[in-house]
Chains A and B, each alone.
Chain A
């Protein structure tokens, strides 16, 4: 069972993430993460790190992107199949591709990318139906 703020935080962060407002998404998820006592806090932590990774890319800092996406992917992978409605099966391969791109950017000393290709986060079920909420 997650804390009452968890789902509101999760949904708000997803909305911001899908608008490419990655810094604000990380803040929204952080609000839920701080209060969360169950192991679902690791799911939020992984999402925070993914959002922070994309923020670093927006700041033309792909070295930070590589590190943060790696950390986020490691935390999120165990949640596939029990992701509280977050469609990780679609998200994780997309983040993997961006991780590879960021590594390439670092290797080639570049920081250009197409922001229209940033991934979006979907739901596997209505967020209102998850966990009895």
Chain B
């Protein structure tokens, strides 16, 4: 079990252990359906806890659609620096990232991912409020897909499925 596990998908919506610490919401957390080496691992890099909740919900629904056939392990990072630490610790099947974050932004993170032999194969989905220039820059750095905020539930779900090659 990962040290940073916070709650599990099966708990996420029906009953909940309290992730909402009184000192503030913990951003650096793991949501897991009991991930195994044969399951899917997704890294969400986002500094806005409300948007993070939405992505967590999408991935929880995806896990529900898969009915446990493919466990999904989701980890969260609040900036590029935290994300890199996660990426070096364990393999991932998808990175979903914001582009404008503190400490290390999404552009720098994409450059690092695409520049490392161990990481460069990982599909990257960038989700940002930025316009065409931002999109062009992200695509130029090698992201596989770009969604412009505000995003809809269905958009995120469809794109994640496509990048994970889930029918």
Contacts and interface: CB of A to CB of B under 8 A. Distances in A.
B153 A111 contact: no
Interface residues of A, number: 18
A23 B54 CA distance: 8
Interface in B1-47: 7, 12-20, 22, 25
Contacts of B25: 61
A109 B153 CA distance: 30
A110 B16 CA distance: 9
A27 interface: yes
Q: Which 6 residue pairs are nearest across A and B when measured between Cβ atoms?
A: A60-B16, A111-B18, A58-B13, A111-B16, A59-B53, A61-B20
Nearest to B50: A64
A11 B137 CA distance: 41
A109 to B, nearest CB: 6
Interface residues of B, number: 18
A24 B84 CA distance: 32
Interface in B51-95: 53-54, 56-57
A60 B20 contact: yes
A123 interface: no
A10 to B, nearest CB: 18
8 contacts: A23-B57, A58-B12, A59-B13, A59-B53, A60-B7, A109-B18, A112-B18, A115-B14
B46 to A, nearest CB: 14
A110 to B, nearest CB: 6
A56 B19 CA distance: 12
A2 interface: no
Given A60-B20, A109-B22, 8 more contacts: A23-B153, A27-B152, A58-B57, A60-B17, A110-B18, A111-B20, A112-B16, A115-B14
Nearest to B152: A27
Interface string A21-47: 001100100000000000000000000
